[in-house]
C-alpha cells in the first residue's frame, strides 16, 4: 500500500458509517480511515433511540463514546383502552452528540465534511471536485435508495425539541401515545398515528408526531400544528423551540431483494446501513444492526475490499430472510386493517410480555414470540389477513419526490 492510500474509505457519515469508522479506529488505530460526508455534520439531523437490552456489552462500550440520555425507570405506552409502563431501560442520542463524539474520537482529518462522492469503485472514491481517494477497501454507507424492487408503505414524522419555562414532571419516555386523533394529514391516505415523547431534561421535552401512512407526503405545516395542539393539551404551549427534525422512512412489506441488491451493487464495494437493507422492516430501527455490523467489520478489518463486499452482501441476504416475519406483519397492518383501526394492532401487541416486545424491536423474536403475536383474537378480520398475506404492496419508487431520512430512531 502506498503512503497516500487509505486502508478504508467510508462514504456516508450517518449512523452506520460513523459507527464503522469508530469501531475500526478502536480495533486498528494504525489504520488510515476516511469518512466522506456530503453534509456539514456527521449524522445529519436525527435522534436515535433504543432499548438498553438491544446491545451486547461490546455494543454498549462502542456507544459509550457519545453523550446519551437514559431512563432506567422504563417507558410508557398509551392507547385508547389502557396505559402501561414497561420496565426496560431506554436510551436516546441526538445527532449533534454523535457528531461531537466522533470528531473527538477519530484522528484529525479522518472526517471529510461537505465532500460529495461522485464515483465509488473497489480501489477508491472519486469526489465531485476531482479529488481521488485511493483505498484498500471501500464501504458504501449512503442513504436508503427507493426502488421499484421493494414494496411497502411509509413512516412519516416531525419532531420538535421544546424548552419549557417550568418543569414538565415526566419521569419516563412515552414511546407510543396512540390516544391522539387517528385522522391522517391531508394527502397521506390512511395512517396509524401516535406521538412519541422524550423528557430530555427537567425543562426539555422532545415530541414527535408519527404516522404509518400509505403515502410518503410530508406535510410539515399540518404535523407542526398537531404538535402545537399536543403541547397545549399537556400544558406546554409556552415553550422555546430548540430544534426540529422531519423525515420519511420506508416500511417494507415485500419485494425482490436480489433484484434490489443487483440495482445498488457496485462490484467490490461493501454496502452497509439502510442502503444495504440493514433495517427493521416494520419499525425502521437501525441501531442494533448498525452496531453489530460495525463490530463485525472491525473484526474482519484485514479482508480485501471485494471479500468485505461479499461478506456484507451475504449478511444482508441473511437479514432479509430473518426479517420476513416483520414484513408479513407490515402487510397485516397496511393491507388488512382499516386505516383508522390500525391502532388496534399496536394496542393488542403492547399487552404482550415485556421481553417479547424488546425482542421484537431488536428483530430477534423467538419462534414462540412469533406464534404469540399471531395467537388469540386477531385485531383484523381473518379474510382480510389472508388476502394481505399475498399483497406485497406498492413499489417504493425511486422517483419519490422527497429526501428520505432512514436513520432516525425516534
pLDDT of 215 above 90: no
Measured over the CA atoms of residue 20, residue 23, residue 27 and residue 29, the dihedral's sign is positive
Task: Report how far residue 142's alpha carbon sits from residue 115's, in angstroms, rounded to the nearest whole number.
Answer: 13
Q: Any idea what DSSP says for residue 57?
A: H
Task: Report how far residue 218's alpha carbon sits from residue 223's, in angstroms, rounded to the nearest whole number.
Answer: 8
Q: Does an H or E element contain 48, and which?
A: strand 47-51
Domains of the chain by start residue, with CATH: 6-69+90-148+254-322 (3.50.50.60), 324-393 (no CATH)
Query: pLDDT (tens digit, 9 = 90+) per residue, 14-63?
Result: 999 999 999 999 999 999 999 999 999 999 999 999 999 999 999 999 99
Query: pLDDT (tens digit, 9 = 90+) per residue, 157-191?
Result: 999 999 999 999 999 999 999 999 987 776 556 78
Per cent of the chain over pLDDT 70 is 95
Rounding to the nearest 10 degrees, give the CA dihedral for residues 7, 13, 19, 20.
-30
pLDDT of 203 above 70: yes
C-alpha cell at 233: 393539551
Query: pLDDT (tens digit, 9 = 90+) per residue, 300-342?
Result: 999 999 999 999 999 999 999 999 999 999 999 999 988 888 8
Can you tell me whether residue 105 is helix, strand or coil? helix
Query: pLDDT (tens digit, 9 = 90+) per residue, 57-105?
Result: 999 999 999 999 999 999 999 999 999 999 999 999 999 999 999 999 9
pLDDT value, residue 408:
38
Q: Is 372 exposed, middle or buried (0-12, 13-18, 19+ CB in 10 A)?
A: middle
Residues 6 or more apart whose Cβ sits within 8 Å of residue 368:
none
Chain mean pLDDT for the chain:
92
H helical segments located in 241-286: 257-264
pLDDT value, residue 183:
78
Query: Hunting for cell 464515483 — which residue is that?
Result: 119
Task: Report how far residue 238's alpha carbon sits from residue 284's, in angstroms, rounded to the nearest whole number.
Answer: 32
Closest Cα partner for 276 from 296, 293, 300, 295?
A: 293
2 falls in which pLDDT band (50, 70, 90)?
Answer: low
Residues 6 or more apart whose Cβ sits within 8 Å of residue 127:
36, 115, 116, 117, 118, 133
pLDDT value, residue 378:
67
pLDDT value, residue 401:
44
Amino acid at each position: 500500500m502506498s503512503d497516500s492510500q487509505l486502508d478504508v474509505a467510508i462514504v456516508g457519515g450517518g449512523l452506520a458509517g460513523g459507527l464503522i469508522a469508530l469501531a475500526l479506529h478502536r480495533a486498528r488505530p494504525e489504520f488510515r480511515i476516511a469518512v466522506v460526508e456530503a453534509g456539514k455534520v456527521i449524522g445529519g439531523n436525527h435522534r436515535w433511540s433504543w432499548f438498553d437490552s438491544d446491545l451486547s456489552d461490546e455494543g454498549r462500550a462502542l456507544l459509550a463514546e457519545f453523550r446519551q440520555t437514559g431512563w432506567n425507570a422504563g417507558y410508557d405506552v398509551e392507547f385508547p383502552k389502557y396505559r402501561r409502563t414497561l420496565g426496560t431501560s431506554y436510551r436516546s442520542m441526538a445527532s449533534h452528540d454523535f457528531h461531537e463524539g466522533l470528531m473527538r474520537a477519530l484522528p484529525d482529518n479522518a472526517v471529510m465534511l461537505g465532500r460529495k462522492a461522485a464515483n465509488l469503485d473497489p480501489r477508491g472514491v472519486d469526489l465531485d471536485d476531482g479529488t481521488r481517494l485511493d483505498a484498500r477497501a471501500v464501504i458504501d454507507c449512503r442513504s436508503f435508495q427507493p426502488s421499484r424492487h421493494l414494496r411497502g408503505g411509509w413512516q412519516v414524522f416531525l419532531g420538535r425539541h421544546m424548552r419549557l419555562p417550568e418543569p414538565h414532571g415526566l419521569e419516563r419516555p412515552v414511546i407510543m401515545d396512540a390516544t391522539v386523533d387517528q385522522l391522517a394529514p391531508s394527502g397521506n391516505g390512511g395512517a396509524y398515528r401516535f406521538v412519541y415523547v422524550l423528557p430530555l431534561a427537567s425543562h426539555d421535552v422532545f415530541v414527535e408526531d408519527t404516522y404509518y401512512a400509505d403515502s410518503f407526503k410530508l406535510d410539515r405545516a399540518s404535523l407542526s400544528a398537531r404538535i402545537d395542539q399536543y403541547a397545549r393539551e399537556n400544558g406546554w404551549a409556552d415553550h422555546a423551540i430548540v430544534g426540529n427534525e422531519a423525515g420519511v422512512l420506508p416500511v417494507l412489506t415485500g419485494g425482490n431483494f436480489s433484484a434490489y441488491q443487483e440495482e445498488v451493487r457496485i462490484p467490490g464495494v461493501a454496502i452497509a446501513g439502510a442502503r444495504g437493507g440493514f433495517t427493521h422492516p416494520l419499525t425502521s430501527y437501525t441501531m442494533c444492526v448498525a452496531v453489530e455490523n460495525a463490530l463485525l467489520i472491525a473484526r474482519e478489518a484485514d479482508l480485501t475490499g471485494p471479500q468485505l463486499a461479499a461478506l456484507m452482501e451475504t449478511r444482508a441476504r441473511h437479514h432479509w430472510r430473518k426479517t420476513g416475519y416483520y414484513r408479513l406483519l407490515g402487510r397485516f397492518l397496511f393491507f388488512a386493517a382499516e386505516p383508522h383501526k390500525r391502532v388496534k394492532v399496536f394496542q393488542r401487541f403492547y399487552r404482550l410480555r415485556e421481553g417479547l416486545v424488546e425482542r421484537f424491536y431488536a428483530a430477534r423474536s423467538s419462534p414462540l414470540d412469533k406464534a404469540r403475536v399471531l395467537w388469540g383474537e386477531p385485531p383484523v378480520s381473518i379474510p382480510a389477513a389472508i388476502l394481505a398475506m399475498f399483497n406485497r404492496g406498492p413499489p417504493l419508487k425511486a422517483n419519490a419526490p422527497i429526501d428520505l431520512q432512514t436513520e432516525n430512531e425516534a
